[in-house]
Chains A and B, each alone.
Chain A
Amino acid sequence: SQQGEEDPQALSIQEGENATMNCSYKTSINNLQWYRQNSGRGLVHLILIRSNEREKHSGRLRVTLDTSKKSSSLLITASRAADTASYFCATDAGIQGAQKLVFGQGTRLTINP
């Protein structure tokens, strides 16, 4: 089951510009997470935002969460060529035990030098 829907599917911007990706989901969640995947590699955890949080920052990353709209956004400021990757949101709807994350389809971000 794909809970997260990401928008846009692909994004191409110039180095130094900001990149914004959006994620919508369907059910109540415990937390929402963002991951990065470089081509042919595993995913890397970027940031986790809990359902009772509205905004979170980590370096050049800013994540917002609107539980009333069941949506989240990931902003990458001052983009660099090394930010070129696919970005996935994932939702955790459980309370205890294993985190059964449900991933979106991803946004493919290309940073042009």
Chain B
Amino acid sequence: DGGITQSPKYLFRKEGQNVTLSCEQNLNHDAMYWYRQDPGQGLRLIYYSQIVNDFQKGDIAEGYSVSREKKESFPLTVTSAQKNPTAFYLCASSTAGQASRANYGYTFGSGTRLTVV
């Protein structure tokens, strides 16, 4: 079955520690995204990537880093510079062509809940 997998489901971070959230898709999608969701809030874009070896900052990129070495994978690192990392992190993917974006939206993973301890 095609889909997008996030791991782990729950993650605990100590103060000053970097942690990496995994996101893998087998949908052959060109574009991938990371969003952050705080309780009772909408989603805010952290980073996105249109193609392998390319990525762009979203609205709240400070304290986060990403890489896109393979089409299938878009890991997110939450660094110690992110002062308030406790949140629900969602990865998504989509096609990127002009024609397809008129018909298809995102496919989301099931999320990673990150808590600072």
Contact = CB atoms under 8 A, between A and B. Distances in A.
Interface residues of B, number: 36
Interface in B1-53: 6, 30-31, 33, 35, 40-45, 48-50
Contacts, number: 86
Please classify the interface of chain A as helix (H, G, I), strand (E, B), loop, or mixed, using the class held by over half of its residues: loop
Interface residues on A, range: 20 to 34
Given A48-B105, A95-B98, A97-B96, A103 B59 contact: no
Contacts of B31: 97-99
Contacts of A48: 103-105
B75 interface: no
Closest 5 CB pairs of A and B: A42-B108, A98-B31, A45-B105, A103-B43, A98-B50
